[in-house]
Structures are given as structure tokens and as C-alpha cells.
Amino acid sequence: MLTLFNTLTGHKDPFEPLVPGQVTMYVCGVTVYDECHIGHARSAVVFDVIRRYLEYRGDVVTFVKNFTDVDDKIIARAAQLGISWQEVTARYIAAYARDMGRLGVRQATEEPKATEHIADIIRLVRTLMDKGVAYQVAGDVYFQVAHYPDYGRLSKRKLDEMQAGARVEVDERKRHPVDFALWKGAKAGEPAWESPWGPGRPGWHIECSAMAMKHLGETFDIHGGGADLIFPHHDNEIAQSCAATGQEFARYWVHNGFVTVDQEKMSKSLGNFFTIREVFEKFPASEPVTAEVVRYFLLSTQYRGPIDFSDNALRQARAGLNTVYDLLLRLDEQPTAAEVADSEVTVCLSKCAAACEQAMDDDCNTPVALAACQRLRSEINTMLHTGLSSQARADVRAMFRRVGQVLGLFQVPVKEWECADHHAVLGETDLERHIAERHDARRNKEFAKADAIRNDLAAQGIILEDRPDGTTRWKR
């Protein structure tokens, strides 16, 4: 059975959707005022894989990921660039689509924008006012956290210990420092919509509650996002949503961990802040960074823990992928006489499939699933030395393709895949030809040429072992 770590309960819970076979899932998207960074990439890939695995299990997933397209940061960026706030949001929504395409992240079922749900937001704020858990100060409306006794239950914080967090404005008119804005009265030059409290715009937290309930209902299965959103954003979502409906908002709260850069917190001030576009473009053509390289790196650590981004980490991810594509290319070569029984291959494939499913059922533990794939690669490489049938080769390819569809890996046609040195993986036929040339060189006492061939093969990951009987064995 699939288990997910539920931040609300503090432990792994068996996952049981409200409606068997149908999963409803909301993930907080980006505020579109700038390019997305590698932290956004991690969240996007994590929830893309969770969605893919739910679908692999046979569930129909309704996946909603929003855009925050009205916000203080958007307004500030528009002023900085000297363009309208609508131009800012259009520019960075397009950049987001470009980045997600490069990462191989599938488009959500629905991708709502806050500005398209102003009427829904106003209705939700009015409900909170009617229930007496929100109050108006001039043109602003605040949620009164003291009227929601369970406030802070997601972050496990107590109200009397809280300080105003990020995006919680300090305002002496508020009844408690942690009371948060549901509606902000209009200011000169800022976008505004008419409301019962005068012209203004929604607060950040109410946007997500309104969009989630609009598309998924008052209660849905999974709410996801980065760990930085637990407080105050997700605590606030829970408070306002549950206070409005009297129902549980989301049943499972799933959060991905932070990204550091060379063991330091990623920040623009430290100069270690990388956008997704920069990640793809920072390496030379001889060391291409592709969607699968980035995904392999991001999935090599369990999603809840921190992950350290570095150039070397991307190189290691590429190397790991190369070993799999090396095998896939060898599987496409003309088979020799098959001496390994197909049944032996079937056993290996069954073990790999079971290990991958067990890993993914255990809170989507992708590094364990990747390790199972690498064990299979090693086993099949050994069998290839002896000989595999065409059917066995096809079955192995299908296994990697099936697992890869969940992880977003191993989907590139093998002839198009490139090694770290930007040359195609050396095929078995060419390899045997090089070994024969080396034999001839040694027989003719052209030892410099023989050594050059050995060194060239070693640079491509091929190790030669000269046997006492005069033959040469090789391994990758």
C-alpha cells in the first residue's frame, strides 16, 4: 500500500483517496514575477513524479497547480521594469511553461490564475465575515486567528509563541500580530477589483483556498508544496478554509525539502542562486545538461530531505544515466547466441519491478527505486557477456521504459543519447573492433599504439583485462 508522509500527522500515513481510484491533488505554484530557480524545479519534479506514480497505480488524478498573478512582488517588478503588471505575469508564465517543458514536467489538469477567481475569493471572504472569523479595517479584511482554535496545527506552532512571518504585514490595526489579510484595500497605481469592502485585491493565502475549492471541492486528497510554505501559508489556508466550510480542507499535506548550493543556502546575495534556464545553459556543449540529467539529480535524494546542488552533482547524475543508456544501446546490438535462459532474465525483471514499487509505495522513495534500476543494469550487463535472446532484450528495454515513465527518465531514443564527452556510447561491434586492433598492435610490437587504444577505451568507461590464455575481457 502507498504511504505518504503527512505533515499534518507527522508520520507516514496509508494513502486512501476520498473516492477509490480517483485522486484530487493541489500543489502551490509560483508567483510569476521572475524566472524560476532550481528550488522551483525540485518541487515541480517531485509532484510530477508523485502524480505519475498515482497514475501508474491506476488512479485517475485531477492535478491542480496555480499561478499567483497578483502580488506585491509582481507590482514591484512592474515598476522596476516600467511595464504593466499584466505584462510581467504574461512574461513569467511563459518562462514557467518553457522551464517545465525543458524539465519534462507534465502540464497540470488545471492551472488556474488568481485573477481569474476574484469572484470566488470575494465569496469566500464574505463567508468568513458572516461567520465572525474575519473583520474589516477600513478597506482591508483580516482573518482573526484567535477565532480558529486549531491555528498552527500544521506547523505545530502555538499562537502565543508566533511572530509575524514572511508576507504577514505588521499592522497596528490588527487584533493579533499573526492575523493575516484576506482582502487588501486599493492603493494608488495598484491593480484593484470591486468588492463589498471597496476596491482592492486578494491576499496571498485566500487565493489558494478559493482556487483549490473551486476546482477540487471543499475537501480533497493531497495538498503539496515546498517546506517553506508550511508556515504561514499552509497554516493560513487550513484556518480560513476549515473555518469557512466546517470541513477538513486537505487530508494529506506533502512537502518537499530545500535545495542548497555547495552546502550553503541558495540566495541571490551569495551569488549562488541559479534559475532553471541557467542550470541548462551553465555547462558547455561537451557536458550537456538535459531534462533527464536534472531529474536524475533531483530524484537521487528522497524528496522530503535537503538536496545540495552543485556542478559535480549534475555530472554524477549524467554519469548514472550514461550507464543505463550504455546498456540500452548494447541491447540494440545484434544478439549473439543466447546462453542465458529467458527465465533468468524474467526473475531479474520481476525483482526490479517489485523493488521499484516497494520503494515508491514507501513515501515515493525515488533514490531506492533508482538503485534498483542500477542493480538491474549491472545484472543484465553481466548476462549480455554470455548472450541474451531478442525477446529477453526487448523485455529489459520495456522494463526500463516502464519505470522511466514514472520517473521521467530513460525515455530518450538510445541513438540520440550522448555521453558526458558528447560522443555516442561505444557499441559492442565497434568495441570488439578496437580490441582486435589492439591485439594486432601488440602482436606487431606497436606497444604505443596498443596503449593508446587501451587509454582511449578507458576514457569511454571500458576496462580491458588481458587473460593468461591471450584473450582480452572487457567490462564497462
- Rounded CA-CA distance 131/134 in Å is 8
Taking residues 57-81, what's their average pLDDT? Answer: 97
Residue 18 has a pLDDT of: 98
Question: What pLDDT does 93 receive?
Answer: 97
Lowest mean pLDDT among 155-164, 178-187, 234-243, 306-315: 155-164
Q: What per-residue confidence (pLDDT) applies to 423?
A: 41
What average pLDDT is seen over the chain? 91
Q: Among the residues of 246-389, which ranges form H helices?
A: 276-281, 291-299, 311-331, 342-361, 366-386
> pLDDT value at position 7?
98
CA distance 236 to 259: 24
pLDDT of 450 above 60: yes
Tell which residue, 397, 418, 402, has the closest CA to residue 318: 418
For residue 462, give the C-alpha cell: 571500458
pLDDT tens-digit map of 356-378: 999 999 999 999 999 999 999 99
Which of 43, 476, 451, 423 lies closest to 257, judged by CA? 43
**CA angle, corner 153, sides to 149 and 157, nearest 5?**
95
Q: Which of 104-113, 187-196, 451-460 has the lowest mean pLDDT?
A: 451-460
The string of DSSP letters for 295-327 reads HHHHHTS-TTS-EEE-HHHHHHHHHHHHHHHHH
Is there a cis peptide before residue 335, judged by omega within 30 degrees of 0? no
Residue where the block lists cell 508576507: 167
The SS3 assignment for 343 reads helix
C-alpha closest to that of 17 among 31, 34, 4, 30: 4
Residue 90 has pLDDT above 70, yes or no: yes
Outline which parts of the chain fall under CATH 3.40.50.620: 15-259
The share of the chain scoring above pLDDT 90, in percent, equals 75
Please state, in angstroms and rounded to a whole number, the distance separating the CA atoms of residues 352 and 396: 10
Q: What is the pLDDT of residues 245-271, one digit of tens each?
A: 999 999 999 999 999 987 777 766 677
pLDDT tens digits, one per residue of 160-205: 777 544 344 567 789 999 999 999 999 999 999 999 999 999 999 9
First to last CA, the chain: 37
Mean pLDDT along residues 39-45: 97
Tell me if residue 426 falls in helix, strand or coil. coil
CA dist., res. 218 & res. 153, Å (int): 19
Superfamily of domain 15-259: HUPs (3.40.50.620)
DSSP string, 388-401: --HHHHHHHHHHHH
The more confidently predicted of residues 405 and 442 is 405
Q: Output the CA–CA distances (angstroms, integers) from residue 433 to 254, 387, 470, in the order listed.
A: 53, 18, 16
Above 70 in pLDDT, residue 419? no
- The CATH label, of 1.10.8, 2.20.28, 1.10.10, 1.20.120, for the domain at 317-416 is 1.20.120
pLDDT at position 385 is: 84
What does residue 454 show for φ and ψ, rounded to 5 degrees? -60, -45
Query: How confident is the model at residue 164, as a pLDDT?
Result: 44
Write the burial class of residue 469 (CB in 10 Å: 0-12 exposed, 13-18 middle, 19+ buried): exposed
Nearest alpha carbon to residue 43 among 361, 299, 222, 252: 299
Mean predicted confidence (pLDDT) in 437-459: 79
Q: What is the pLDDT of residue 444?
A: 83
Closest by Cα among 418, 413, 412, 416 to 460: 418
Is residue 55 classed exposed, middle or buried when 0-12, 13-18 and 19+ CB atoms within 10 A define those classes? middle
| Contact of 154 with 7, CB cutoff 8 Å | yes
Looking at the chain, which residues constitute the CATH 1.20.120 domain(s)?
A: 317-416
Neighbours of 381 (CB within 10 A): 16
> Is the pLDDT confidence value at 422 over 50?
no
Helical (H) or strand (E) element with 65? strand 60-68
CA dist 176 to 138, 143, 161, 163, 169, Å? 17, 10, 12, 10, 11
- If DSSP codes are grouped into helix, strand and coil, which group holds residue 342? helix
Q: Is 203 exposed, middle or buried (0-12, 13-18, 19+ CB in 10 A)?
A: buried
Q: Are 405 and 411 in contact (CB under 8 A)?
A: yes
Q: Are residues 294 and 314 in contact, defined by beta-carbon separation less than 8 angstroms?
A: yes
Three cell numbers written together for 130: 458572516
> pLDDT for 311-346, tens place per residue?
999 999 999 999 999 999 999 887 767 788 999 999
